[in-house]
A and B are shown apart, each in its own frame.
Chain A
Amino acid sequence: MAVEIRIPAALRRFTGGARRVEVAAGTLAEVLAGVFGQHPDLRGRMLTAEGGLRADARVFIAGDEPEQGLATAVGDGAEVTILPPIAGA
């Protein structure tokens, strides 16, 4: 079991077009590190230089913001949503 994360279209240029990433469960920091391990260009779009989540890089677990930030546990099969801002019209 693992965590499957869908990459929104707006961020696929940073994943070489990959639409889904599968990583091992863990804390949110570990899950994201797994994602960035496969797609390093995504890191700067989601994390600040200090390693925190960027304010405009929202990540939700089962629809809610992670209560303990990057330390929040993400279990096997959890629904993790990356939601970058988009403004196309």
Chain B
Amino acid sequence: MWPELTEHELERYKRQIQMAGFGEESQRRLKGASALVTRLGGLGGPAALYLAMAGIGKLFIAHGGTCTPSNLNRMLLMRDDAVGRPRIPTLEIVTSTDYATEENVGEWVSQVDLVCTTTPDFGERLVLNRECVRQRKPLVHSGMNEWECQLTVIVPGQTPCLECLVPEPPEWWDPYGFGVIGPVCGMLGCLTALEAIKVLTGCAEPLAGTILSIDLEEMSMSKCRPNRRSDCGACGHL
């Protein structure tokens, strides 16, 4: 069953435990859950931060390369020195300084209950999607461009997978050419964490099979319901 909550955890999380439909059981499920967040950029940073703050039990965070000046308009500087100090919840953190590749994703995905793809590279997202389909693990797919965001939850075999939606990286998408400002990817990172929490706890209604599309220039949002593709190379056989 789900791990028990300590007195400190009951106090720490009491304001979310009191939320309708959440409760102590969701908190315990979250404590027993794990997620992989690939790339800790303007999107994955807040997603990982909010998952940790909400009380997830284990977080696997991966990002290759090193920080560049153009990252600094949106990337959270996570404080390593806080880890291990008193008053931090029991949280197992696994890190990797590699990018997700066909070679490492099998091992990575096997360690967690859910994956958040927060990388600008469609190739990397598709590799993670294939592995999530193979291991039947849910995938939260979120991406932004300038003022716009998209968010969906992929449940292999039940919803369209990423490859149903994007069979191969679009030739016109430049992974390092999109315009980005912190609050846009920050907000989307929070929503990414929220969808992960919904899936991991069984609370509320995740965007399974629905793409939420948000335009923060005009402050509008809409939902679309894509179909699965029976000829999908990743999930067509499910």
B119 on interface, CB distance cutoff 8 Å: yes
A87 on interface, CB distance cutoff 8 Å: yes
- Which residue of A45, A63, A88 contacts B120 across the interface (Cβ within 8 Å)? A88
How far, in whole Å, are A89 and B225 apart by their CA atoms in the complex? 23
Q: Is the CB of A65 within 8 A of B225?
A: yes
Q: Is the CB of A89 within 8 A of B144?
A: yes
Q: Is the CB of A87 within 8 A of B167?
A: no
Mask: chain A, 63-89; 1 = CB below 8 Å from B; 0 = not:
111000000000000000101111111
- Smallest CB–CB gap between B141 and chain A, Å? 9
User: Most chain-B Cβ atoms within 10 A of its Cβ — which of A55, A87, A88, A89?
Assistant: A89
Q: Is the CB of A89 within 8 A of B148?
A: no
How far, in whole Å, are A45 and B170 apart by their CA atoms in the complex? 9
Given contacts A65-B226, A89-B120, A89-B143, is CB(A84)–CB(B170) below 8 Å? yes
Which chain B residues numbered 103 to 151 have a C-beta less than 8 Å away from chain A? Answer: 118-122, 125, 143-150
A26 on interface, CB distance cutoff 8 Å: no
- Which residue of B147, B172, B175 contacts A9 across the interface (Cβ within 8 Å)? B147
Can you name the residue of chain A whose Cβ is closest to the Cβ of B170?
Answer: A56
Report the tally of A-B residue pairs with Cβ distances under 8 A.
93
B44 on interface, CB distance cutoff 8 Å: yes
- Smallest CB–CB gap between A65 and chain B, Å? 5
Q: Is the CB of A8 within 8 A of B148?
A: yes
Which chain B residues numbered 41 to 96 have a C-beta less than 8 Å away from chain A? Answer: 41-44
- Smallest CB–CB gap between B204 and chain A, Å? 20
Q: Which residues of A contact B43 (CB under 8 A)?
A: 88-89
**16 new A-B contacts at CB < 8 Å, known A83-B150, A88-B185:** A9-B148, A10-B172, A10-B178, A45-B170, A55-B167, A63-B223, A64-B225, A83-B213, A86-B178, A87-B119, A87-B143, A88-B43, A88-B120, A88-B144, A89-B43, A89-B143
Name 23 A/B residue pairs within 8 A (Cβ), A-sorted.
A8-B148, A10-B146, A10-B148, A55-B229, A56-B168, A56-B170, A60-B224, A60-B226, A63-B224, A64-B225, A65-B225, A81-B213, A83-B224, A85-B170, A85-B173, A86-B143, A86-B144, A86-B149, A87-B120, A88-B144, A89-B118, A89-B119, A89-B180
